[in-house]
């Protein structure tokens, strides 16, 4: 009986560990110096592919515009940021992309893009 319990525990441990191995995490950090009252656009195509689930996980605090969008003309996905009128200081946003790499294995990739703004 003890042998069966040990075998089951080892199997459960193996299965739970293999699930973590199926997850890939990547992070890209970028610092942007931006003049007050100007907007900034960043092409997300290097980090986001068609079919990815995308969300802003940490929204900027001092923004007039802070959004990702798909260009109607070429289909490219970009992020646009514009600080509040006359704001000077720091701001920060995180965008998370989740994509399935292998449906059968359940393998997923998570890409976090961290944008730090220095508004002068």
Catalogue all structural domains in the chain, each as residue range(s) with its CATH number: 23-119 (2.60.40)
In 10 A of CB 63, how many CB atoms? Answer: 17
Strand pairing class (63-70; 89-102): unpaired
Could you tell me which of 25, 93, 106, 84 has the C-alpha nearest to residue 60?
93
3: confidence class by pLDDT, cuts 50, 70, 90: low
In 10 A of CB 41, how many CB atoms? Answer: 13
Residues 22, 107: Cα–Cα separation, whole Å: 4
pTM across the whole model: 0.74
pLDDT digits (tens, 9 = 90+) for 67-76: 998 888 887 8
């Amino acid at each position: 009986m003890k042998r069966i319990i040990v075998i089951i525990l080892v199997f459960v441990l193996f299965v739970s560990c293999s699930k973590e191995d199926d997850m890939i995490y990547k992070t890209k950090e970028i610092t942007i110096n931006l003049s007050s009252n100007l907007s900034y656009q960043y092409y997300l195509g290097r980090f986001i592919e068609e079919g990815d689930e995308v969300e802003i996980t940490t929204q900027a605090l001092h923004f007039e515009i802070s959004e990702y969008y798909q260009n109607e003309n070429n289909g490219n996905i970009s992020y646009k940021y514009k600080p509040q009128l006359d704001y000077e200081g720091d701001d920060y946003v995180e965008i998370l992309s989740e994509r399935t790499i292998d449906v059968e294995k359940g393998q997923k990739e998570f890409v976090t893009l961290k944008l730090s703004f220095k508004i002068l």
